[in-house]
Structure 1
Amino acid sequence: MALSPELLAAASGLGLGLSLIVAIGAQNAFVLRQGLQGSHITVVIALCVLSDAVLIGLGVGGAGAALSRAPQLMDAVRLAGAAFLLGYAVLAARRALRPGSLRAHEQGASTPLLATVTTCLALTWLNPHVYLDTVLLLGTIANTHPGRQWAFAAGAIVASTAWFVALGLGARALRPVFAKPVAWRTLDGAIAAVMAALGASLALSA
């Protein structure tokens, strides 16, 4: 039995949403780390899902066209995002290089909720790739499904929700591996490298 046009549009949104979000990046690295640490992971997942839903809605609603006409705004977001990512890279590098900073993980301590929320929102909303991919690109492709844009958006939101839930909660399965301090140092070293590379890329493109 053939799928209805609405289901086809939703499936297209699901596929594109997964292709855009399932990649190594600042937001995913943060969600993974919080999931491994067991620190406010439900709040982090909710913030990521709600932020993506808002951004997808903006893109499908036509904000992408307005965004493409505001290059100065994108330059400002790039510089702000670069500064934040480079700062986060320094913190991650310090954790990787200083064994004493690993005691928090060994003792089960967690980052304060406000700091976690602030970091999560900054990694999401100060990332210009979010606007280029989620708002501009996804919004543009959604409009290739005339009359069914919101079915497409629903598929993309389902993809985002499934990914963040799987990444955040699925990290629990890796906790035995991260019982050893060297595993945390390796992860933080990788996060520092990713954040530094993304930050430098944003700074150079501004």
Structure 2
Amino acid sequence: MTHAFFAGFIMLGGLIIAIGAQNTFVLKQGLLRQHVLLVALTCWLCDVVLMAAGIWGLAASTQKLPWLTPLLSLVGGLFLLAYGLFALQRAWRGGSHISLSAQGNQPATPWLKTLLFTLAITLLNPHVYLDTVLLVGSVAAPLAADAKLPFWLGAATMSGLWFFGLGFGARLLLPLFRRARTWQLLDAAIALMMFYLAWGLLRPLILAWFG
């Protein structure tokens, strides 16, 4: 059972430690010190639920619905494209450093709005389903029934360490992000990354429909 736990832990580590829309949002909330616990907890719970769905059968269901993957790619690609446009607008206008310099004196975004956006950036991203449902579910499929639970616990532990570490560890970068130029460069990098991810999702659909 210990082997299954560490197998889940290591596997998810290889999947989750990558820059993406969800991770950049968690990092940014950590830098702003706004609802960090809420954001990290929401991302972690979504991972836990989705991985459980993949390990205990949803992966098999999605394989029987070939139209589901293209649909997720379309919705996710459009969402990432819109997210990139907003980040590009912030990079162009600047001024995000004001929130960091205020160190919490500026009113924070309402917790409900932050929660809804966290759910959107998590559940509308097809990469989340590919990683947590399909990939984790596929790896767990050949495991014995009594090994699935420790495998899930190992993956869930890795997910929790990552999101809480990313959110609360971001505060160590606060002095750097008091500078307006640094914040603009981050937003510009986020925009380029979102455009790249969106293109990767939408390109196969465009080639299939118009190629």
**TM-score normalised according to structure 2 size:** 0.90
Aligned pair in 2 of structure 1 residues 111, 193: CA closer, same or farther (>3 Å)?
farther
Show the counterpart of 1:53.
48
Q: After the TM superposition, which parts of structure 1 deviate over 2 Å for at least 4 consecutive aligned residues?
A: 99-115
Show the counterpart of 2:11.
16
User: How many Å separate the matches in 1 of 2:204 and 2:119?
Assistant: 22
Equivalent residue of 1:153, what SS? helix
User: How many Å separate the matches in 2 of 1:57 and 1:105?
Assistant: 37
User: How many Å separate the matches in 2 of 1:15 and 1:114?
Assistant: 33
User: How many Å separate the matches in 2 of 1:92 and 1:27?
Assistant: 13
Offset of residue 111 of structure 1: 2.7
User: How many Å separate the matches in 1 of 2:38 and 2:204?
Assistant: 32
User: How many Å separate the matches in 2 of 1:100 and 1:153?
Assistant: 42
1:142 touches 1:152 (CA, 8 Å); kept in 2?
Answer: yes
Offset of residue 161 of structure 1: 0.3
Q: Superposed, which structure 2 residues align to 1:96-135 within 5 Å?
A: 96-100=91-95, 102-107=97-102, 108=104, 109=106, 110-135=108-133
Show the counterpart of 2:63.
68
List alignment gaps of at least 5 residues for structure 1: 1-5
1:23-77 per-residue CA deviation (whole Å, 9 max, x = no partner) reads: 1111111111111111111110010000000011001111001111212222222
Equivalent residue of 2:155, what SS? helix
User: How many Å separate the matches in 1 of 2:62 and 2:98?
Assistant: 44
User: How many Å separate the matches in 1 of 2:202 and 2:111?
Assistant: 29
List alignment gaps of at least 5 residues for structure 2: 206-211
Q: Superposed, which structure 2 residues align to 1:19-38 within 5 Å?
A: 19-38=14-33
User: How many Å separate the matches in 2 of 1:204 and 1:98?
Assistant: 30
Offset of residue 103 of structure 1: 3.4
Q: What is the letter of the counterpart of residue 56 of structure 2?
A: G
User: How many Å separate the matches in 2 of 1:125 and 1:171?
Assistant: 23
**Which of the numbers 52, 61, 77 marks the counterpart of 2:72?**
77
Equivalent residue of 2:67, what SS? helix
Question: Which is further off, 90-99 or 114-123?
Answer: 114-123
User: How many Å separate the matches in 2 of 1:181 and 1:25?
Assistant: 22
2:76 touches 2:126 (CA, 8 Å); kept in 1?
Answer: yes
Show the counterpart of 2:137.
139
Equivalent residue of 1:71, what SS? coil
Equivalent residue of 1:34, what SS? helix
CA RMSD of aligned residues (A): 1.4
Question: Which is further off, 146-155 or 108-117?
Answer: 108-117
Q: What is the letter of the counterpart of residue 159 of structure 2?
A: S
Question: Which is further off, 96-105 or 113-122?
Answer: 96-105
Aligned pair in 2 of structure 1 residues 67, 122: CA closer, same or farther (>3 Å)?
same
Offset of residue 114 of structure 1: 2.8
The percentage of counterpart residues that share the same residue type is 42
Q: What is the letter of the counterpart of residue 195 of structure 1?
A: M
1:36 touches 1:174 (CA, 8 Å); kept in 2?
Answer: yes
Show the counterpart of 1:3.
none
Q: What is the letter of the counterpart of residue 183 of structure 1?
A: T
